[in-house]
Chains A and B, each alone.
Chain A
Amino acid sequence: MSAAVFLRALRPTQIASSGLLGNRKIIGHAVGRAPLLSAVSGLRTPSFTPPVVQQSVKQELVKDCKQEQDLFTDNVISKVNNQIVKGSHGRLFAVVYIHGHQHLVTQEDLLIVQGVFPPSIGDVIRLEKVLCVGGQDFTLFGRPLLRKDLVNVEATVVEKTLSHCRIYFYNRRRKNSRKTKFNRETHTLLRINRVEIMQKIDEVPEVEGVDGRIF
């Protein structure tokens, strides 16, 4: 059923209120020869004069907030840098990735690493894979790691022992089949000595990828 045939049955005012033409505002009815609504031109012309429709233009005033946002970020960065320079952030925490696990550590706390871990007792280690660091008022997130120049997490190896004996007992009932396995895992105890932020956060290094190393 073509649209032209259907519209023929309605009056212009009825067409406007029917909603067939969508949200178009009818601004007036043209007098005389009017443009055809149907694509099938020349075959059938409507006997009435269809209204000339004008699409309503939607305009919104979009406020340019870029300057305000830049001011806000600069303000926040300067506050964080102030705290870092003065050292007034207080106790810092760091999320550290070690041996496939992530741990939230602060100064003076103990951590156990399971399995083969070469450093011996008394060695001071630097934990380099830091995912985030923060204090009471701010948190710095790495993507996924933070730069080594920025954060320093040091730990001392305090002890290396074996865990308690874990017994794995397997039994197949009524099959005269049983197996016993004993396992003791090596535990390395780390004492976190310090968590500190070394630089201002917007200090971009001249050369990327060096991370403070000197070759």
Chain B
Amino acid sequence: MTSHTWNLFWGSSFVRTPLRNGVGRYVQQLQRVTFKFCKTHGGSQGMREFIEKDLVDFAKVNPGVVVYLKPRRHRSPCLKAEYLNGEEEYISAHNLSSSDIKKWVEYLRMRSGNPVERLRKYQHTDHPSIQGPWTPWTHRDPEINVTEFPSEKLSAAHVTEKTATEQVIELFEKQKIASGSNTS
């Protein structure tokens, strides 16, 4: 598949947060987390270890997040996160160690519910211009408003470098000053 196809698969969006989070107050976007696991199967070993050791700390640190445990026989373990904007995220935890599960749980905690998409820009602003957007007249001399065209002065060629004659005259003046200071 080409990169173009992958871009279509991912979808594209601009940078956004749900309901202008952070402007006034910051609100954690994770609503609830469900841990599904099997009590006996080996694939859920990491999950069971995580539940024994790290789950209570996670719940204490995040009082606004509801934590559910769902023991389900003969099924692979998974994490399911639900966010305030209604989006859901599902991550399979089959054969993952407890440290890996901890990292994925942190990832789910810190996300907003917005789906992962290719970002077109890494910045968003509602006020792109403060001093006024650029126009062709922004850095022009307002004198041109009151000149009559064609104008000889404005039509003259822009000379940025010194002409050879000017340079020779400059050298001559410098020489004079030097010789004058030497003799005096």
Contact = CB atoms under 8 A, between A and B. Distances in A.
Contacts of A167: 3, 6
Interface stretch (B18-26, B49-57, B142-150): B18-26
A114 B126 contact: no
Given A112-B119, A121-B28, A167-B3, A161 B130 contact: no
Nearest to A169: B3
B134 interface: no
Interface in A170-205: 187, 189, 191, 193
Given A106-B127, A122-B26, A114 B122 contact: yes
A35 to B, nearest CB: 16
Given A112-B122, A112-B123, A122 B131 contact: no
Contacts of B130: 90-93, 106, 134-136
Interface stretch (A40-48, A152-160, A206-214): A152-160
B17 A161 contact: no
Interface in B14-50: 15-17, 20-23, 26, 28-29
B112 interface: yes
A164 B112 contact: no
B28 A110 contact: no
B-side interface size class: 20 to 34
A159 B127 CA distance: 22
A122 B28 contact: yes
A16 interface: no
Contacts of A93: 130
Given A139-B131, A161-B107, A165-B10, 16 more contacts: A93-B130, A106-B125, A109-B124, A110-B16, A110-B124, A111-B122, A112-B122, A134-B130, A135-B130, A159-B110, A160-B107, A161-B110, A161-B112, A162-B116, A163-B116, A167-B3
22 contacts: A91-B130, A106-B127, A108-B20, A108-B127, A109-B123, A110-B124, A112-B119, A112-B123, A120-B110, A121-B26, A121-B28, A122-B28, A135-B130, A136-B131, A156-B26, A159-B111, A159-B112, A162-B116, A164-B119, A167-B6, A189-B112, A193-B22
Interface of B: 3, 6, 10, 15-17, 20-23, 26, 28-29, 107, 109-112, 116-119, 122-127, 130-132, 172
